[in-house]
Amino acid sequence: MSLDKPEEFSEYFRILLPELTDEDINELEKLYPDPSTDESSPYVESRPIDNIGSQYKRAEAAYAHYAYVCPVYANALHASPEVPVYVYRWATNSSVLRGADHGDQKPYETYTRAARGGSPLHEQMAGELHAYWTSFITQSGDPNALEGSRAAGRVPWQPFRKGEREVKMLFGEGNDELAGGSGVGVASQMVDATWARKECDWWFSKGKKVYQ
């Protein structure tokens, strides 16, 4: 977690993806601006965390795009011309360091007591997620068909359509209560799905060097 030198960022991806060339690594370094030399870089570390290197946020973002965000987006692009595709992003911060962590949404899907106990906003999110998921499973892939008593007025989940309506559902944006903050945020909202588009286009361009 130290990852404090710019060369450590580059070396991390050389080891992770050994088929990337020197030219690829140079492109990667420009795609994710170095926070130690560029004050305008979105990866400048501002979280109040001890013992974390200046390159951590940069590497964290690049890996998340490569391993999670971009593959999901690729699936949506390929599948949406043929079938309804529903894209979402879980944005509720569960900790200062890890933010919205992989799998954090699972207790909300099943409306567990642990998910509902965080605050009224978390109670609302749990009800809405449970309703969306239950409807999708029982109503032939439609997250909106089953109204449900706990989330009757929830936002309609619009399908992602390549080149026409590239949208996603955003859950918990602005909420950091579980991380000790006071931000309540918004339970659910439909937003544009072009987040990290430039970065994903770069990862896609590397083809089998990174995705096999």
Cβ count near 54 (within 10 Å): 19
Lowest mean pLDDT segment, chosen from 8-17, 24-33, 148-157: 148-157
pLDDT per residue as tens digits for the range 169-179 = 999 998 888 87
pLDDT at 16: 97
Q: Which amino acid is at 1?
A: M
Q: 125, 108, 109: which is closest to 185 by C-alpha? A: 125
- pLDDT band (50, 70, 90) for residue 68: very high
Residue 24 predicted with pLDDT over 60: yes
Is residue 27 within 8 Å of 8, Cβ to Cβ? no
Is residue 25 within 8 Å of 14, Cβ to Cβ? yes
Is residue 41 within 8 Å of 58, Cβ to Cβ? yes
Helix (H, G, I), strand (E, B) or coil at 36: coil
pTM of structure: 0.86
pLDDT per residue as tens digits for the range 79-93 = 999 999 999 999 887
